[in-house]
Amino acid sequence: MVTKKIAILFSGSGSNLEKILEKVHNKKFRTCKIEVVCLICNKKDAFGIQRAKKYGLDTLVIEHQDFPNREEFDKELVRIIKQSGAELSVLAGFMRILTPFFTQNIKAINLHPSLLPLFKGAHAIKESYDSSMKIGGITVHYVNEELDGGEIIAQECFQKGTMSFKEFEEKIHSLEHELLPKTIIDILDN
């Protein structure tokens, strides 16, 4: 059975990273096994680094402030990802704007906590909760040079009803924890 290799990039808590490790890493599917071969984080204190350790995986910390500009940082990411042999990279809470050098060299998907194309950027959960929309939702999309702008692969939504902000946020995360692993499998197991 063929093994398909993926890279995961993250910046923070890593709850989505952990769900991928739990549901996808080293698991066999219909046509392939999927292996996480590369973990990259741009924040040395990110909790996701501890979560990965539980699965015996080390994270490469590459801090963007160590590079003179975005493109030099992205060149290092591309070099490491290519070297790992990963055919798909997953941005799981990776809070960096990527340059065309990255997007043209790496096939990547991103998880975003709103129904794109609405509420792009870093405050999507708050903005969608505060909006007059009756539904909230999440998106997984391909990464291109436009921030949160690539082709949409999968979305889930739900009725806001009378949810508090905390409940809304929890609902977003619980949907993310299902949809991101499922989308990775859908892309690779074909």
User: What residues make contact with ligand GAR under the rule CB under 6 A?
Assistant: 10, 12-17, 48, 92-93, 111-113, 124, 173, 176
- Secondary structure, 3-state, 111-152: EECCCCCCCCCCCHHHHHHHCCCCEEEEEEEECCCCCCCCCE
Cβ-closest residue to ligand GAR?
A: 93
| Least distance between ligand GAR and beta carbon 92 (Å) | 5
Of residues 75 and 173, the one with the C-beta less far from ligand GAR: 173
- Non-local (6+) Cβ contacts of 152 within 8 A are 116, 139, 140, 141
Of residues 127 and 189, the one with the C-beta less far from ligand GAR: 127
Return the closest-CA partner of residue 3 out of 80, 60, 87, 59: 87
| Catalytic residue (choose from 25, 64, 112, 173) | 112
| Least distance between ligand GAR and beta carbon 12 (Å) | 4
Of residues 181 and 185, the one with the C-beta less far from ligand GAR: 181
DSSP 76-107: HHHHHHHHHT-SEEEESS---PPPHHHHHH--
| Least distance between ligand GAR and beta carbon 51 (Å) | 9
| Least distance between ligand GAR and beta carbon 182 (Å) | 15
Is 141 part of the annotated catalytic residue set? no
Catalytic positions, written as ranges: 112
